[in-house]
Chain A
């Protein structure tokens, strides 16, 4: 006869079933805690709340087991997109300040899963300081010169340095956030994961041909309203996702100077498609896009005569954003705006910026009628073709208004050339340029993707746990990988039940 299960075993099994009622697991002895953890995983009951419960015990064994099993902590309950892998995404950061330590440390919970492309502003003299623990590549002035030639390097100065990152990326999606932005919190106080939100925006359809009054109908809890034409409900691919900013909103210098204390504290829970033919200012501070579809249309072309190192002293993103919107409308691609938010730090003095010329503001007045009326020919069916056509129109209709537009048209054509040559070259990760630049080596800059090193003391504990539980963990792995037949319990469980039945079939009731 089979030995009946021990009291401890039964207790742990019961505990697994009632995990949702526990608020604190720290009183449990270590070996029981570990057993409970493994059985929770086996039972498929490890959700975020339960994971937090185990992590809150602070017990090293549990934490190391979590790390070993590569269990990831999800920050915000944004619906995970099924087919998008972390390796489909590049995060591009334009470094206009040398010390990225606090910036990257704040973003660590979100960014550490992904590959980062950090492009240093060619005008920045100091060395970059990058903390450990990130899978990243750094590009500096020599790398840019090598890739595009010394004469084109000017294109990538200041905020435009991030475009170089777009050029050399090989991933499907790019997410780009300014280096003076930090994670924001939503109205419930949860940390916002802009990567997850941008990806959700990009992988659900956009609806530019008819306005939905409940905004994005593909969000949880929303749908198309009465009166929305059915033929338009499948939507189109969303190629560009524009996020927003809490604290220092993206205002121009006059507005910020007029309202120096104004800070954006309104977290508006909204994602929506910008309707076709509607123009908008696309801010480069917090955006994401599908690289192949929109990359050629996001370019550093409109450079102001006295462009500065503050956002309100530039207009490059506004210009390329308007071009991108016209091109998206032409190609039937969608543009979304709204969530996610980032928290933008206070920076700069708008009044000082006002003392410089208002060139950007003046230029906008010239360009709006142009963008409202520009039409691209039917024959322009790729983004690159559209940009080339756009450049032609810019030269024809705006060239005489201000020489800066002729330069812009030239830059747009140059960009298309670069995109076709540099942007579409397939190369192995090693050749990207890291290492060819001997300018910047700071303590944290790593050359290899593998970044985390376990300190020696934990390594010993890790080995000990592996010896003790290694067999069990590999059994678990094997079990999870097996395809389970519906309705059939594991052989062991069935045996236990049969044994019990053979003992109790005459009187199958609990005895008092």
Chain B
């Protein structure tokens, strides 16, 4: 593809980065990210100063900002867990979000060329998805591919893509038990494919390299209650992924997975991970059947309505599993209320947005 003169969707996309350390990794991404606006969500100690490399247009929120913006609703945003990133989704004013972890770097494709992950995500989001019938040549909208013989013509238009889920070379996203058994395994296989996850199929959504259409699915991208004071960790993105997929299936939206790859450099401590995950590993055995059997009523025609209904069912069906799910169900409602507050028409008018930003964010730079 020829070099684009103007970065695609420059004014329609925010890059959300949760961080607790520093943002040096942005140097490597500079050629790809610099034209875009960043929303940095600083987790952990709010007094620590996070250094952002020069030249980036960003707003930064620490825990104090989160509390200030949301007031009593701030309890739905996790503390001491990258789940706090969804606060960035909440306050963004753009149509699209790309979120990436601070230990993810630019990967190279087999020809040695650096991969512009952001551009690929945008391509994925702008092209339709085909979740109702599996195409054996994967994404038919990619250059050089098409629908195969037998693919029904009535399904070839596809549906809008709500989520683009990217993958990782080097350190793969394994759970703690797998990490312990295979500490040296590295993902070296570059699979040149993008595909729509079929309707009715659940998947493990990883938040490390993810993009979505905020207008289509934003309210469902709540990363749950994790981290400090919670019995579970490292299931934030999983939870958001299951909720979002069920809602996408109901609203006939597409979820894609595959390209782009990023280079994941840091392997987290498997023992620390095991402590965070172990409850999740057990609970999952009940959570998955729950999501597989969820039926959303026809009246749920918006994401918010679907999400509220989902939160009710979570409390009803998973509550018996552990009181945590009652809390989680409530937090899901709080999130939707917060979403409505922040994203209601009054707040999204341009003049007020700038003013609001100055008040809300503790640091803003350009």
Contact = CB atoms under 8 A, between A and B. Distances in A.
B198 A270 contact: no
A224 interface: yes
Nearest to B175: A226
Nearest to B198: A278
A276 B150 CA distance: 19
Interface in B138-172: 138, 144-155, 165, 167, 172
B198 A250 contact: no
Contacts of A173: none
A282 B191 CA distance: 22
A255 B146 contact: yes
A480 interface: no
A273 to B, nearest CB: 10
Contact of B150 (A210, A213, A270, A318): A318
Given A210-B288, A221-B185, A368 B203 contact: no
A337 B136 contact: yes
Given A211-B203, A222-B189, A226-B173, A280 B133 contact: yes
Contacts of B234: 226
A400 interface: no
Contacts of B199: 278
B284 interface: yes
Interface SS of A by simple majority: loop
B204 A221 contact: no
Nearest to B188: A221
B187 interface: yes
B179 to A, nearest CB: 9
Contact of A279 (B134, B153, B172, B206): B134
Chain B interface size band reads: 35 or more
Contact of B136 (A213, A222, A242, A259): A242
B172 A225 contact: yes
Nearest to B288: A229
A277 B284 contact: no
A213 B192 contact: no
Contacts of B106: none
Interface in B195-236: 197-206, 234-235
Nearest to B203: A211
Nearest to B239: A227
B50 to A, nearest CB: 26
A213 B136 CA distance: 16
B113 interface: no
Interface string A262-294: 101111111000111111111100000000000
Contacts of A274: 134
Nearest to A274: B134
A365 B152 contact: yes
B178 interface: yes
Contacts of B235: 227
Given A229-B288, A244-B136, A210 B201 contact: yes
Interface of A: 187, 210-215, 219, 221-232, 242, 244, 249-252, 255, 259, 262, 264-270, 274-283, 311-312, 315, 318, 321, 337, 361, 364-365, 368
16 contacts: A210-B202, A210-B203, A213-B173, A221-B189, A226-B206, A227-B241, A227-B284, A232-B288, A251-B148, A259-B146, A264-B144, A277-B201, A280-B134, A283-B149, A315-B150, A318-B150
**List of 8 A-B pairs having minimum Cβ-Cβ separation, nearest first:** A227-B204, A281-B150, A318-B150, A278-B198, A211-B203, A280-B134, A275-B201, A226-B175
Interface of B: 110, 133-138, 144-155, 165, 167, 172-175, 178, 182, 185-193, 197-206, 234-235, 237-238, 241, 257, 277, 281, 284-285, 288
